[in-house]
Amino acid sequence: MSLPPPEEKPRYVRDMFAGTAQRYDLMNRLMTLGQDQSWRRRVVEACNLPPRGRLLDVATGTADIALEALNQRPDISVIGSDFTHEMMLIGQAKDVARRLPLIEADAMRLPFPDNSFDAACSGFLMRNVSDIAATFAEQRRVVSPGGRVVCLEITRPATPIWRDLFGLYFHQFVPRITALVSSNKSAYDYLPASTVAFPRPPQLKTIMESVGLGNVTYRVLMLGTIAIHVGEVR
């Protein structure tokens, strides 16, 4: 499958997530063999929020990172934003304590003044945007100096044997699993295609540095298939 051109990507991505919202959480658990929530826990820890800190979860989707943050740190305040209403409706239903404001917004034009948060994070967003650097720059803008920008994404392993196994998993197993729970054929072709096109961890680090984030580090998990990048706002 070829990816949509940049100008059509936002609409394509929004339609795809609107169509898969009802099954999104189930698909996540199946495709990651139940590991995805542990990565979200690590993202919240990596945000390193101060007492009563303010966190923005960009592209919150069904709000799993945002709700994990409130669970882990009941003292903080969290806002979730996303441009797919249908995804956030699922998240809203899970927020039984009604503690999580969810705001419809494009990750490349966040409706918040500069320095509004102590950290901004995103999970599985960056593969889907038409301009990765601009999206990081927007997160850097809304985070106060000293705060962090944290990114969780799928990546391709560097080691040849894992790369081959990952290729099999992603091009054979994932489309079959996705087909079981989604009737949208392009959704299950899009995921492997967008991952192949996505920068490897060292390149993503360079992109983060190019928008002024400092001390950028990353760690890879799950046999090199998942990366968490952390940068500091200077």
Q: Return the H-helix or E-strand segment holding 203.
A: helix 201-210
Position 10 contacts ligand SAM (CB under 6 A): yes
Q: Alpha-carbon distance 119 to 136, whole Å?
A: 12
Given the complex with ligand SAM, which of 34 and 145 has the nearer CB atom?
34
Q: How many CA atoms lie within 13 A of 215 on its CB side?
A: 9
Least spacing, CB of residue 161 vs ligand SAM, in Å: 27
3 state DSSP class of 44: helix
Least spacing, CB of residue 108 vs ligand SAM, in Å: 6
Position 222 contacts ligand SAM (CB under 6 A): no
Q: Alpha-carbon distance 86 to 212, whole Å?
A: 33
- For the chain, helix, strand, coil in percent to 5 are 50, 20, 30
Q: Alpha-carbon distance 13 to 19, whole Å?
A: 10
Position 59 contacts ligand SAM (CB under 6 A): yes
Given the complex with ligand SAM, which of 77 and 128 has the nearer CB atom?
128
Position 86 contacts ligand SAM (CB under 6 A): no
Position 82 contacts ligand SAM (CB under 6 A): yes
Site residues, ligand SAM (CB under 6 A): 10, 13-14, 17, 59-61, 64-65, 82-84, 87, 106-108, 123-125, 128-129
